[in-house]
Amino acid sequence: MTIQEGRNAKQPTSHSIGSGSHLATSTSTTNNTSRSNGVLSAFFGSLTAGASAARSASHHNHHQPSAEQQEPIPTPPQHQQPAIAVPVVEEAAAAAVAMVGVASDNNNQQPFRGERPLQNGCEDKWSWSKRDRSKEVWLSGANNRTVHFHPNWSKGTAGIRGTRVLNNGRYYWELSVSQRVFGTSMMFGIGTKKARLHVNAFTNLLGEDKNGWGLSHKGLLWHGGIARNYTKRFKENQATRIGILFDGVAGTLTYYKDDVCLGIAFRGLNEIREPLYPVVCSTAAKTEMVLTESRRDFVNLQDRCRAVIIKHIKTREKLDRLNLPYCITNYLAEALSDCTTPVTPLEQQLIDYYLF
């Protein structure tokens, strides 16, 4: 425990409180395949050209003296273009990877290439649970998406669970973490309902046992009470953004930090039979995390159609006016965002008093 974690004095904090569709699909698939084949043809054509140029240059220089003995080579006339095969090959390879979408499975930290994860999916309107949380966690903001840890002072580790069940789907969510990054442990990840959400000690709570998988702000991954190195330690007292990509099909969990992919952190999550939920926790007083983005992949065509309909029907009242069959109404209602309990005026007054 550090003095700064438990002190009672107020500290500044951030205030981020049918047949036609089948034809279209077939046409789109054909276009994508043709474009991918064209890029790959250009790529392999460049490789052949590069190899030929390299062999020509090698034959020309076969009987030349060593580099240390050579005279300075005069600049060739403008009508002669020296063969430089490597950049051409690299450009074609980059284009092929970008168009075809070849993904490498490694832990190298790479910036986003093009779109962010699951941008072709739809908005996923889950929030933080008012029931599954520590008493040292307060919620505020639209749909309870802002989490405040230890609003007065800290005497342990507090956590909260999200309302989204992750199993068998592909989900991406992003957290905006306030500049108060310090203390024993601030963690982001997933867990089952058996994962503890409060303990009167400063510890790495998420991943202390087999029920949690978490990343600490110190750059360590935790699961089953065992830590391993994953990335650099976060800079203290500097705001940051953490993205989390859960792939329930592949069984992987991947982290992003400030638009940089940190690589796959955990595997085998598709073998977990218990429901998995997003979880965050912190030991530091007056820290704040905001759920700024949450997206999911489409399950099927029915799911995709529902997402389009919900864009035009924002509330349950408007949905009921359509007088649709009961089963269709309930299916559409599952995607509405007005299902979470709002913060009461008294709760908001207490939040404003203690935090601001």
Q: How far apart are CA 340 and CA 195, in angstroms?
A: 23
pLDDT digits (tens, 9 = 90+) for 107-116: 445 555 546 7
Which of the four pLDDT bands, split at 50, 70 and 90, describes residue 79?
Answer: very low
Q: How far apart are CA 5 and CA 182, in angstroms?
A: 8
Which of the four pLDDT bands, split at 50, 70 and 90, describes residue 8?
Answer: very low
CA 61, distance to chain mean position in Å, is 51
Q: How far apart are CA 142 and CA 338, in angstroms?
A: 10
pTM confidence score:
0.62
pLDDT digits (tens, 9 = 90+) for 125-136: 899 999 999 999
End-to-end Cα separation, the chain, in angstroms: 25
Residue 101 pLDDT exceeds 70? no
Ranking 36-50, 134-148, 181-195 by mean pLDDT, the lowest is 36-50
Angle at the Cα of 177 from the Cα atoms of 204 and 307, rounded to 5 degrees: 105
Question: 230-238 — which CB contacts under 8 Å span 24+ positions?
Answer: 230/107, 230/255, 230/262, 230/263, 230/265, 231/109, 231/255, 231/257, 231/262, 234/181, 234/186, 235/181, 236/181, 236/182, 237/179, 237/180, 237/181, 237/182, 238/179, 238/181
Q: Do you know the residue count of the chain?
A: 356
